[in-house]
Amino acid sequence: MSTAIWGESETQSDENYPLSLLKNLLQQMMEQFTAQGACLALYDENIRQMVIRLHLHTHISSPSSVANNIEDIVTVPLNPRKAPGITRPLNPSASALGRMRRLSKPLPPLDPVTLQPLPSQTTLFSLGEAYTFGQGLIGTAWRKNEPIVLRSDEYAAAHPVDSQPLAQNERVPGCYLAIPIQDPPMLSPQSTQPVQPMQPSTQRPQNMLGVIVLYQTLPGVGFQQTQSDEALLWAERFGLYLQNDRLQHSQTRTNDYMKRLQQISTAFPSDVILSKLVENVYQFVTAVVPISSMLLTFYDRDTKKIYDIFAIDHGKRLEGLHEQPVIAQQSDRPCWWHVTQEQQSTLLIPAIQQEPESVQQYEELLKGTWGDQSSAESFLLLPMKMFTRVVGSLSLASMCPDAFSAEDILALETMVQQITVGIENAKLYDRANQSVKKARQREESLAAMNSALLAISSVLNLTELLHKFVETSAKLVQAGLCTFFQLTPDREELVAQAIYDSTGKWKDATQTGSREKHDDLIEMIRLPFHNSLLAEMVEAGSFFYLDTMMLEELAQASGEGGAIFLRETHSHKMLMIPVRYQTEIVGILAVHTPWQDRVFRPEEVSTLLAISSQAASAIRNAQLFEQIRDANAELKRMDKLKDEFIVTASHELRTPLSAISGYASLLKRQSSRITPQQVLRYGTKISGATQQLIDLVANMTEAAKMGAIDKKLELQVGPVQLLAAAEIASTMLSINIEQKIIMHIDPQLWVTCDALPLRQVITNLLDNAAKYSPPTGQIVITASETTLSQLPEGQVDYGKLVNGEDPEVVLVRVRDEGDGIPLEDQEKIFEKFVRASRSLTTPVRGSGLGLYICRRYIEAMGGKLWLEMSVPGEGSIFSFYLPRMEAPPIES
Amino acid sequence: MKVLVVDDDPIICDMMADILECEGYPICVARNGMEALKLLRSDEHYLVFLDVMMPVMSGKDVCEQLETEPHVRQQHIIILMSALDKLEEVTSCKVEGIIPKPFVVEDVIEALEPYMQ
């Protein structure tokens, strides 16, 4: 039995075999039975024969000293793979030692074992000799299972093969006693095994452990049949010894299994390195069974693939398999599928070479990633079962026939079960870990996004907001360059409003050092939107990428700033996210991919989308806030203007009122004394003042009627002869001016407009000129025909210059020789209620509404009105133009 | 004693002249404070109707200037003519009278009579 010791190897030591104990026992038995020789054959499971393990005999030279001159022959168990009958020394040095110590010893105590010289010298019961069931004396005792006493002649007759010629100094035993050693009936470990691998029916009675043979060489001395019972008692002692030993071994082995299994199990799930686990499995397997090849296969239920992750082919490891497993589909491995997933049981082929049909049947399992194992002697496939689910398999091949004992298989199954649980745990652990990790990442990115959104939402300053927006976006996805383009109100262009540039690419492209200049240049970056590919793509989806070709196409359609931006920043790909407020496009966020060919991950894009939509409403809010703020400031300004107007107006109203009231009371007071001439004079004064009041009130009403600056005025546009309009206007002057009015107007000049407002405008300009000019000054009004493009810069309405048209206009100038208008007032004078700042202290009358009303009228009639020139002390020129038209045919 | 009307508005000046002529007072006119000061610094004694809001030099400025010239100041009677809403601004001026604008003939006569007997 002990030959089947687990972990049996070439270098097996004496410790696995209680030889010294057995020898002692055998020696004692010899003494008891006064035998001159004794040998012990033990059952060898591997060859299923009885093999002689121990042979003691007394020296023949001195019969009197039998007890003191026992030579013993000890050897090691046979290598089961060697042919029976060939013995081997324990090792060379031990043999040499034995040879030197070949001496007689008194008994007891028995000193260190003395080894017989090479067993070849011993012909009788030589060590290592094996006996089959029923062969020879030993085989007979085995078969009969009872003590046999034989005399030498009987022996020779019964077993002629054994009766070989003896070597020198050897004597033919006179009598033999063979006693079978039965296994003590209790505690047979095999009987508790649940799995019984298929084994050929044993030729040995179940409980036979070995056979003891005692012999006597001294003539006349023999064994009595009566000694049989006593011999059986001795045999029982042997049996107990052997069983005890076996139990000890089995316990040691179990402990070892346990230890190794524990090692494997402690590796999980905290240490989830699969390669390490696989290594542990391999170590365990090689320690348990003599394998030549091993294959570890996993089945991934989720993706329905089969992975070979570890393979040993005839002792050679397949490198790199762990990193890059061999992947197969279920359909590729029907046999594997059948065995693991359907049968779900251990498959053992104990002797492949004797079962060609098995090789055929299981060819798929024997060949593959781990090479060709069809030349192996035994094969074992262990499914890795998790409840009813099989997650993989462990395939083992051994060059030894019947290499997997039931006990080993049990250990391997336990181990496989354990690693299966371990792997599943590891998977779960890994999954849990990953989802925790993912959740944490998500949480982090959400937190980052949240704080970014907060930062964006809390800013009401649009510029600051946009800068924050691009910076946050860039940082969230580690982009080097991020730009926000705002769509112009006419949807023609996208104008860069903010750039975040961590790479310095833009700075390099513009070659500017200072931040101010850098910021100034930003608005130069303009991309076409209307009718461009951007407009198409914006409609197509929530985001898109511009590739190199599209970038170039766009660059060609862009102005200089846009082209520099698109070309010089060396972007290979640009992520464009339309920023929408509800359905309305506010602008586009352009994110440069950080390096070539990188596309943002979906999470990054969705982060950008989220932040963009938030930014859209923030931008909207900021815009509204700015509008409200501007409107509020405008309201405040208007309020102030209104107050000023009231002051002005009351002053302006008061003067004519004073005159009216003064003259009226004068008339009353002096009614009896005044002359008709005086009455006429006073009456004229009163009506003049009244007219002034009427004009003022009319102006105010008119301005009020015009309403908001963007309100469209209702006009009756038609052909108007400019000269006629100017002549009428000069007669309508509200004050009697002292200055001379000179007109240089061609009667052929006609304009398209409403005649009444035109007259009013000219009157107003003449009035103003008169008010601000010294009495000796001249007021000159001129008109000339020109085209729109010839007008001074700033006054050209470029919207009317499209399609190569250059409309003809009439330019009218009113020049005075007044004080001029202070620079700070030159634009303001056209606003409502505003007059040149000194006007309150000048003798100039007016509502502060004249120029405002004029400009409104001229613009409503398709022209423009502006202060062309104003030089302090020399005078001012007010100019306006109106669309020119051909003189209509003169009506008869 | 002559009456001096100082106002930038020719309508007012004309009207004052008409009123005072009818009442039989000798009258002269100045268009702003600067012109008025020139006249006041002569030997003539004036009763001055001084408008407050005028270009070049306002009525208030004239008063302040005259504070520094007491010998000039004491020769004249000064009556300020001020818009009702500007009265507060001129209360600090040491003048003989203030007429709010717009005024009626009686206001002028009442202000003038005590000095022109």
Q: What tens digit of pLDDT does each residue of B45-94 get?
A: 999 999 888 877 888 899 999 999 999 998 999 999 888 777 888 888 88
Question: Do A301 and A218 have their domain in common?
Answer: no
Give me the amino acid identity at A889: P
Among candidates A650, A659, A682 on the partner chain, residue whose Cβ is nearest the Cβ of B12:
A659
Q: Does B82 touch chain A (CB under 8 A)?
A: no
Q: Would residue A525 be called left, alpha or beta, if left means φ above 0 and alpha means ψ between -120 and 50 degrees?
A: beta
Q: Has residue B42 got a pLDDT over 70?
A: yes
The parent domain of residue B87 ranges over 2-115
Mean pLDDT of A596-620: 81
Contact A666 B15 (CB under 8 A): yes
Q: Which residues contact A661 (CB under 8 A, 6 or more apart)?
A: B102, B103, B104
Q: Which residues contact A528 (CB under 8 A, 6 or more apart)?
A: A492, A493, A494, A534, A554, A557, A558, A562
Question: Do A875 and A851 have their domain in common?
Answer: yes
Among candidates B11, B83, B85 on the partner chain, residue whose Cβ is nearest the Cβ of A689:
B11
Mean pLDDT of A439-462: 80
Contacts of B103 in chain A (CB under 8 A): 658, 661-662
Q: Would residue A138 be called left, alpha or beta, if left means φ above 0 and alpha means ψ between -120 and 50 degrees?
A: alpha
Question: Do A232 and A307 have their domain in common?
Answer: no
Among candidates B11, B16, B58 on the partner chain, residue whose Cβ is nearest the Cβ of A655:
B11
Cβ count near A9 (within 10 Å)? 10
pLDDT of residue A85: 40
Helices and strands (H and E) in chain A: how many: 21, 29
Exposure string (b/e) for A532-542, b if CB count within 10 Å is 16 or more? bebbebbeeee
Among candidates A647, A669, A688 on the partner chain, residue whose Cβ is nearest the Cβ of B105:
A669
Last residue of a domain, one of A705, A722, A753: A705
Name residue, tokens 């698109």.
Answer: A566
Q: What tens digit of pLDDT does each residue of A398-413 get?
A: 888 778 888 788 888 8
Question: Do A499 and A588 have their domain in common?
Answer: yes
pLDDT of residue A89: 39
Mean pLDDT of A169-175: 70
Question: Do A696 and A713 have their domain in common?
Answer: no
Average confidence score pLDDT of chain A: 76
pLDDT of residue A811: 92
Q: Does B58 touch chain A (CB under 8 A)?
A: yes
Contact B105 A666 (CB under 8 A): yes
Q: Has residue A845 got a pLDDT over 60?
A: no
Mean pLDDT of A823-851: 58
pLDDT of residue A403: 80
Last residue of a domain, one of A705, A738, A758: A705
Most confidently modeled range among A201-205, A439-443, A857-861, B104-108: A857-861
ipTM for the complex shown: 0.87
- Among A5-9, A221-225, A317-321, A520-524, whose mean pLDDT is lowest? A5-9
CA distance B106 to chain A (A): 8
Q: Does B15 touch chain A (CB under 8 A)?
A: yes
Q: What tens digit of pLDDT does each residue of A568-587 get?
A: 776 777 888 998 888 888 88
Question: Do A723 and A858 have their domain in common?
Answer: yes
Q: What is the pTM of this model?
A: 0.42
Mean pLDDT of A147-175: 68
Q: Which residues contact B66 (CB under 8 A, 6 or more apart)?
A: B37, B40, B72, B73, B76, B78
Mean pLDDT of A703-708: 70
Q: What tens digit of pLDDT does each residue of A182-239 get?
A: 877 654 444 444 444 444 444 444 568 888 888 887 777 678 777 888 888 888 888 8
Q: What tens digit of pLDDT does each residue of A776-812 get?
A: 888 999 999 988 888 887 777 766 666 677 888 999 9
SS3 label, residue A434: helix
| Residue A161 banded pLDDT, cuts 50, 70, 90 | low
CATH number for position B40: 3.40.50.2300
Best of A663, A665, A837 to mutate (most B CBs within 10 Å, chain B): A665
Q: Has residue B34 got a pLDDT over 70?
A: yes
Q: What tens digit of pLDDT does each residue of A322-357 get?
A: 778 888 888 888 888 888 888 888 888 888 888 888
CATH number for position A118: 3.30.450.40
Question: Do A425 and A415 have their domain in common?
Answer: yes
Q: Which residue has the higher pLDDT, B102 or A763?
A: A763
Question: Do A281 and A243 have their domain in common?
Answer: no
CA distance B68 to chain A (A): 24
Last residue of a domain, one of A689, A705, A721: A705
Name residue, tokens 């959104």.
Answer: A453
- Among A500-514, A719-733, A803-817, A875-889, whose mean pLDDT is lowest? A500-514
Q: What is the DSSP letter of B28?
A: E
| Residue A880 banded pLDDT, cuts 50, 70, 90 | very high
Name residue, tokens 């003259």.
Answer: A663
Q: Does B102 touch chain A (CB under 8 A)?
A: yes
Q: Which residue has the higher pLDDT, A437 or A824?
A: A437
Treating both helix axes as pointing N-terminal to C-terminal, what angle do A722-731 and A755-772 enclose, rounded to 10 degrees? 50
**Which residue is closest to A673 within chain B, CA to CA?**
B22
Contacts of A843 in chain B (CB under 8 A): 8-10, 31, 55
- Among A229-243, A255-269, A738-752, whose mean pLDDT is lowest? A255-269
Question: Do A307 and A211 have their domain in common?
Answer: no
DSSP lists the bridge partners of residue A592 as A574
In a domain, residue A737? The reply is yes
Question: Do A669 and A768 have their domain in common?
Answer: no
The secondary structure of A101-138 as a DSSP string is T-----SSSP-SPPPPS-GGG--TT-TT-EE-TT-HHH
Question: Do A273 and A171 have their domain in common?
Answer: no
Question: What is the total count of domains within chain A?
Answer: 4
Distance set, CA B41 to CA A825, B5, B73, B74 (Å): 37, 15, 9, 11
Q: Does B87 touch chain A (CB under 8 A)?
A: no
Question: Do A555 and A662 have their domain in common?
Answer: yes
Q: Has residue A241 got a pLDDT over 90?
A: no
Contact B8 A678 (CB under 8 A): no
- Among A65-79, A639-653, A681-695, A807-821, whose mean pLDDT is lowest? A65-79
The parent domain of residue A248 ranges over 2-8+21-183+203-254
pLDDT of residue A851: 82
Q: Has residue A25 got a pLDDT over 60?
A: yes
- Among A60-74, A306-320, A454-468, A862-876, whose mean pLDDT is lowest? A60-74
In a domain, residue A442? The reply is no
Contacts of B10 in chain A (CB under 8 A): 843
CATH number for position A787: 3.30.565.10
Q: Has residue A270 got a pLDDT over 90?
A: no
pLDDT of residue A717: 86
pLDDT of residue A506: 63
Q: What tens digit of pLDDT does each residue of A113-123 get?
A: 343 433 444 56
pLDDT of residue A710: 60
Name residue, tokens 């039975």.
Answer: A33
Q: Would you list which residues of chain A are within 8 Å, Cβ to Cβ, of chain B?
A: 647, 650-651, 654-659, 661-663, 665-666, 668-670, 673-674, 678, 681-682, 685, 688-689, 838, 840-843
In a domain, residue A441? The reply is no
CA distance B12 to chain A (A): 6
User: CA A600: distance to chain centroid?
Assistant: 11
Among candidates B15, B54, B103 on the partner chain, residue whose Cβ is nearest the Cβ of A685:
B15
- Between A and B, how many CB-CB pairs are < 8 A? 73
pLDDT of residue A595: 63
Question: What is the total count of domains within chain B?
Answer: 1
pLDDT of residue A253: 77
CA distance B41 to chain A (A): 24
